[in-house]
Chains A and B, each alone.
Chain A
Amino acid sequence: MTKSKEDHGIAIGIDLGTTYSCVAVWQEHHCRVEIIHNDQGNNTTSFVAFTDDERLLKIRLLPIQRTMSLDKMLWPFKVVAGTHDKPMIILNYKDEEKHFCAEEISSIVLAKMWEIAEAFLEKRVKNAVIAGLNVMRIINEPTPAAIAYGLNRRTNNCVGERKIFIFDLGGGTFDVSLLTHKGKIFQVKVTTGNGHLGGEEIDNRMVDYFVKEIKRKKKVDISGNPKALRRLKTACERSKRILSCAVATHIETYALSDGIDFCSSTTRARFEEINMDLFKECMETVDKCLTDAEMDKSSVHDVILVGGSSRIPKVQELLPGFFNGKDLVYDNQSSVGIKVYEDERTRASDNNLLGSFSLSGLPPAPHGHPFDVCFAIDENGILSVSAKEKTTGNSNKIVITNERERFIQMENALENGNLSSKLCSEDKEKISSAITKATKLLEGENQNGEIDVFENLFERVIGKFDF
């Protein structure tokens, strides 16, 4: 959605999301688009000045008392059916009641967003002009995603049209679209989705999981406690973010209910298990979109990931699998994850993950941006993996000490229950016992003398995983 101010010829872009919205403006002197994420982030010095008026200061302090509760943040209006059953908003304020239709709400909210961009631009516009803002164009959501990745400027080697798939999993909604691109024309062929699927639902799953755990461990049912649920949900949302680059995380909430503190941990594996049906629902929607378009997935040229929740590792794992390994387009990232696997299987995730680290603080870069990754093995057989980005000089590394790490990882995997659905308790017991023995062998002083025993033990463990 784009608006313009005719006098100055300034156009701003407004992207509406369930959780976040962006106002963006083209900066001529920087020759790039500037995104205004949050007025606090760009106005660090613009807060109220200190006042010497004692009465005013006293008055300002009064609201600090607990007279307001965040739990009372209810919608301050009603929605009713007006003439011709059109929805109207009714507001009561200062002993007055007014009705507003949807179009009027649109104009008010857009003006509000314009004010935010205007503050960023440090330019003033008369009130009359604000009211008269002109909507240049309303762009369907999939098209800006394709334009953002420069697909409209890609030289077409093929004579025919290019088929682009947009996977948009945001905070509250899930949308998939199939676009065709030929010459300068984008055409949305099919779009479908689920208005109740996104990061919020994923957070809710984690909340449900911990509500059950709290009930079991503390014998307290917080399902009827809105404040506790909200507190738990914000904690879950944060841990979800951490699980995108860590395999485990910790949650600790204070005074959850009647002074009860709660702490727990969760792993990426459990997070994925909790939400697996949601992820599968995404894949089913993808399949339906292609079916509606009567198109085979192999004919799709580009797949674009949009939305915060599309960064979830499991989502990024399932989607290439669905499209038979087609690369995903996800540009402008400022960090990169490095994973170190051991073994020779073609698919990385089929090998043993020895360790991982991330390189962050990078300038946003397109996919394919080069990194130097170096593997070094010293005389003791210790492997060091380091990564470096040339333009910033940022580097990071990890040291893989010895075999023991791998067995501990295996045992952790067993305890996390990754394989519990595949293994009977007897097999799990054997594997755990074998891992324990192997670990002790590796640590023992007679390691060299019992190398044959170790090798046999190792083969038994691997054999269990290979079934």
Chain B
Amino acid sequence: MAKEGPNWDGLLKWSIAHSDGTRPTRNLSEEDRRWFMEAMQSQTIDVVKRMKEITLVMQTPEQVLKDQGVTPADIEDMLDELQEHVESIDMANDLHSIGGLVPLLGYLKSSHANIRAKAADVVTTIVQNNPRSQQLVMEANGFEPLISNFSSDPDVTVRTKALGAISSLIRHNKQGITVFRLANGYAALKDALASENVRFQRKALNLTHYLLHENNSDCNIVNELGFPRLLMHLASSEDSDVREAALRGLLELARNTQDGKDGNEEDSEKMKQLLQERINNISLMSAEDLGVVREERQLVDSLWSTCFNEPSSLREKGLLVLPGEDAPPPDVASKFFEPPLRSSTANPSSKKDSNNEKKEIPLLLGSGPSLADTNNQGSNRENANS
């Protein structure tokens, strides 16, 4: 069972760990049992039940919903909740099982731009790093409305969200990449790069780099489509993410473009001018801003080495690698994701801060004495089972 509703697994493990086999228990009445189940259910969210309710709404014709007073904003809110549920990979895959994937894809053709955008956003969450749902979306012909919205939707937000969904849909998905090429996806990417929307540009740059990295022969295609000029332009963007992604694309092209065939003296000079300008900008940055553009610094140096067979001046300036950049990240996640029940049954942890965690869990008021009992249990056991 995937996690859904009350944490039955944690409850049972906790209860068995604290069971006292020497004492007979009272006979639990059916009334008490039902009361307990209702109490647990009422105070937790049954995600699958919610997804089924949302699926029912998505399957309801738009006119019927309108007659019931449901507004497009209500639908948008509903999709936002659905997106939270499908963050879990199991819930994402279950959406198809309960019949919710197809009507969700139908919302990509909604007459409301906000709904089209939100639906694409939900699809992004469903298929990201999820081969199972990638396949399901492809089988449900989800690619078609997505590429249509990406290429020609009048609303730039819808186009951006559709691109995000396509990007997640085709990564590590050979069929998706093939379909994307056949659908003239590179032309649409070029249009995205030429747009004025920073978010749109960034998504297009990231996908372009991924595709070039996956298949070097695509470098010829993008060269012919005029990508290098666009990438050179975006490498001077005000937005650091766009600059970084553009430089990454340029580096991929530089590594795979044959010398003397597509490159010429003028392009080489422009590249040197661009990189020198970036180096000058980096040299003026504060320590904090240097952290923001760490990847950019590395990319500028790599690009310089690739194009001109010599290290960039960032190295001698000491701006390529700064002191302390390799320090490990502080422990943040453990404090937020520690289930309370596990603490009371766990063995003593090698982490020094585990004691603090136990003290900070207010709900386990009586776990102290039982924890001592747990610690006394030896790790050596001899049991015969057949």
Contacts from A to B (Cβ < 8 Å): 16-23, 37-41, 44, 47-48, 50, 54, 57-58, 60-61, 63-66, 68, 70, 73, 75-82, 85-88, 91-94, 96, 98, 100-113, 116, 127, 131, 139-140, 143, 172, 184-196, 200-201, 203-205, 207-209, 211-212, 216-217, 219, 223, 226, 229-231, 233-235, 237-239, 241-242, 246, 249-252, 254, 261, 263, 281, 292, 408, 411, 415, 425, 429, 432-433, 436-437, 439-440, 443-445
Contacts and interface: CB of A to CB of B under 8 A. Distances in A.
B106 interface: no
B44 interface: yes
B373 to A, nearest CB: 9
B342 A47 contact: no
A107 B28 contact: yes
Interface in B71-106: 74, 77-78, 80-81, 84, 87-90, 94, 97-99
A61 B385 contact: no
A193 B345 CA distance: 13
A140 B168 CA distance: 42
Which of B56, B164, B329 is most buried by chain A, counting CB atoms within 10 A of its CB? B329
Nearest to B374: A195
Interface of B: 1-3, 8-20, 25-26, 28, 30, 32-33, 35-40, 42-45, 48, 50, 52-57, 59-60, 68-70, 74, 77-78, 80-81, 84, 87-90, 94, 97-99, 121, 124-125, 128-131, 164, 167-168, 171-172, 199, 202, 206, 210, 216, 240-241, 255, 258-260, 288, 291-292, 294, 298, 302, 305-306, 309, 311, 321, 329-334, 336-337, 339-342, 344-347, 349-351, 354, 363-370, 379-386
Given A131-B30, A249-B129, A195 B345 contact: yes
Nearest to B78: A64
Contact of A196 (B56, B260, B354, B368): B354
Contacts of A439: 255
Nearest to A242: B129
Contacts of A96: 35
Given A73-B44, A78-B363, A234 B87 contact: yes
Given A234-B87, A252-B128, 6 more contacts: A38-B2, A64-B74, A87-B18, A105-B14, A106-B16, A189-B382
A131 to B, nearest CB: 7
Given A98-B35, A103-B19, A207 B94 contact: no
A58 B131 CA distance: 36
A61 B71 CA distance: 11
Contact of A190 (B199, B260, B291, B379): B379
A216 B291 contact: yes
A185 B379 contact: no
Given A131-B33, A185-B386, A187-B383, A75 B340 contact: yes
B263 to A, nearest CB: 12
B381 A188 contact: yes
Nearest to A261: B199
A87 B17 CA distance: 10
Contacts of A109: 8, 11-12, 15
Which of B3, B14, B45, B385 is most buried by chain A, counting CB atoms within 10 A of its CB? B385
A1 B129 CA distance: 34
Nearest to B164: A252
A359 B341 CA distance: 40
A186 B337 CA distance: 37
B342 A223 contact: no
Contact of B129 (A201, A238, A415): A238
A340 B78 CA distance: 47
A187 B2 CA distance: 31
A320 B382 CA distance: 27
B259 A40 contact: no
Nearest to A107: B28
27 contacts: A17-B9, A37-B1, A38-B2, A60-B53, A65-B77, A66-B81, A70-B45, A85-B369, A88-B366, A107-B33, A108-B28, A109-B11, A187-B383, A188-B382, A190-B381, A195-B345, A195-B346, A204-B331, A208-B330, A216-B291, A217-B240, A234-B89, A235-B129, A249-B129, A252-B168, A254-B121, A254-B164
Contacts of A108: 28, 33, 36-37
A255 B64 CA distance: 32
Given A185-B386, A189-B382, A76 B33 contact: no
Q: Which 5 A-B pairs have the closest CB atoms?
A: A81-B366, A76-B43, A195-B346, A93-B39, A204-B333
B89 A238 contact: yes
Contacts of A127: 30
Given A66-B77, A80-B365, A189-B382, A91 B1 contact: no
B336 to A, nearest CB: 5
Given A93-B38, A229-B332, A437-B309, A44 B12 contact: no
Contacts of A200: 337
Given A75-B340, A76-B39, A443-B259, A250 B379 contact: no
B97 A98 contact: no
B90 A38 contact: yes
Given A109-B8, A184-B386, A443-B258, A250 B347 contact: no
Given A208-B333, A234-B88, A254-B121, A64 B54 contact: yes
Given A47-B55, A76-B43, A93-B35, A191 B379 contact: yes
A318 to B, nearest CB: 18
A104 B292 CA distance: 55
A219 B89 contact: no
A91 B292 contact: no
A229 B336 contact: yes
Contacts of A242: 129, 131, 172
Contacts of A22: 1
B98 A47 contact: yes
Contacts of B38: 93
A272 to B, nearest CB: 14
Contacts of A241: 89, 129
Contacts of B298: 415
Given A211-B332, A234-B89, A217 B292 contact: yes
B216 to A, nearest CB: 8
A156 to B, nearest CB: 15
Given A93-B42, A105-B15, A64 B81 contact: yes
A187 B53 contact: no
A21 to B, nearest CB: 5
Nearest to B95: A40
B96 to A, nearest CB: 9
A18 to B, nearest CB: 7
Contacts of A94: 39
B20 A212 contact: no
Contact of B333 (A41, A88, A233): A233
A401 to B, nearest CB: 8
A190 B330 contact: no
A85 B347 CA distance: 20
B41 to A, nearest CB: 10
Which of B57, B98, B121 is most buried by chain A, counting CB atoms within 10 A of its CB? B98
A196 B349 contact: yes
A41 B94 contact: yes
A61 B384 CA distance: 56
Given A40-B98, A216-B294, A439-B255, A76 B44 contact: yes
A39 B97 CA distance: 10
